Amino acid sequence: MTRVEDVFDTLRQVRYPGLEKDIVSLGYVTGVGRVGERLVVSLEIGTSDAQAAETIEREARRRLDEAGYGYELQVTRPQPAKAESAPERQVQFEDLLPEVTYKIAVASGKGGVGKSTVAVNLALALAELGAEVGLLDADVYGPSMPTMLGIGDQKLGMSGEKVVPPRVHGIRVMSLGFLTQGITPIIWRGPLAGRAIEQLMTDVDWSGVEYLVFDLPPGTGDVQISLSQKGNLSGAVVVTTPQDVALIDAIKGVGMFQKVDVPVLGIVENMTHFECPHCHERSEIFPQGKLKAEMERLGVPVLGDIPIDPQVATAGDAGKPILLAAPDTAAARAFRQLAVRITEVLKDPRT
């Protein structure tokens, strides 16, 4: 079976036209993984020079063909209009929240896999362990926390210049959904979304918070970029579901964080199995094992799996997450185990 390293070696032979630099060291190779029998390679050719991008793609295909892989190549390129009008942005890394010990982003490449569910239950489970926990709803396009925690428009208090995040079920929560009188989704243009995230960090009183959990929108947009550059994240937790299509997105999600030097703490696989509430027998929903094998190759641990349980969805809709609504269920237990695992990984990344 092809090793990821071999594929990278093959792609290292592809150089940027006219330069010594190869596309791996330029960070254009954003994901290599195996889905079933197929090898999936994703390239993000981040140059505004269309001709150079075409040459790179052609050369990459030629090398992969020569190496004899049965592969699928996914190529993304910057939009020409954007690349022409915007001058190269200087990347600057900052930490807008130095007082918060651990900042954890819950992310996914694909929408609807359970990020918000994982984020809220993880935050509550960390609080159960005795920590001071904040939950920042970074999904500025469609905030979920007002529904998931059963709190709509809020009269927010101020502490000096800063907004005091409401305390719900023992955690501090801030969401733009508290301010928009139920008007969602909000349409943000790119830079505004990034700015909104910055304000949620700097203009909200997170002092004394030990773990701040960020619930991200899906994909790899402006929110993810802002957070990676300004949030000094301790790490990202990438949520996926066990279908092949989601695995491809999970590989991309991992690649995105690795590219910007945010450590990927690990993967959470959601809705993997069903545990009978009566006899506790476990039934797998999809064939198992692919994710773990794939993540091992990428050097990313699988932190846990969460069973599918209709109560998870009803609890989320009713504003009382499963951890509190049905604390003895297999799903609630899985979220507690996940929280413990994450504290271990944060304290010692080698565990």
Ligand X SMILES: Nc1ncnc2c1ncn2[C@@H]1O[C@H](COP(=O)(O)OP(=O)(O)OP(=O)(O)O)[C@@H](O)[C@H]1O
Binding site for Mg ion (CB under 5 A): 115-116, 144
* 308 binds ligand X per the rule CB under 6 A: yes
For ligand X, the closer CB: 69 or 274: 274
Binding mask 139-178 for ligand X (x = CB under 6 A): x----x----------------------------------
For Mg ion, the closer CB: 64 or 149: 149
Q: Closest Cα partner for 103 from 6, 190, 216, 194?
A: 216
Residue 134 contact among Mg ion, ligand X, none, beta carbon within 5 to 8 Å by kind: none
* 253 binds ligand X per the rule CB under 6 A: no
- Kindly provide the b/e burial profile for residues 209-220, where b requires at least 16 CB atoms within 10 angstroms of the residue's own CB: bebbbbbbbbbb
For ligand X, the closer CB: 87 or 310: 310
In this structure, what are the phi and psi dihedrals at residue 240, rounded to the nearest 5 degrees?
Answer: -145, 170
In this structure, what are the phi and psi dihedrals at residue 133, rounded to the nearest 5 degrees?
Answer: -125, 140
18-27 long-range contacts (CB < 8 A, ≥24 apart) are 23/56, 23/60, 27/259
For residues 246 and 276, the answer to whether their CB atoms sit within 8 Å is no
Q: Binder to ligand X among 218, 231, 304, 321 (CB under 6 A)?
A: 218
For ligand X, the closer CB: 44 or 139: 139
Binding mask 90-119 for ligand X (x = CB under 6 A): ------------------x--xxxxxxx--
In 3-state terms, what secondary structure has residue 284?
strand
Q: What is the DSSP string of 12-33?
A: HT-B-TTSS-BTTTTT-EEEEE
| Site residues for ligand X per CB under 6 A | 108, 111-117, 139, 144, 218, 270-271, 306, 308-309, 312-313, 316, 331
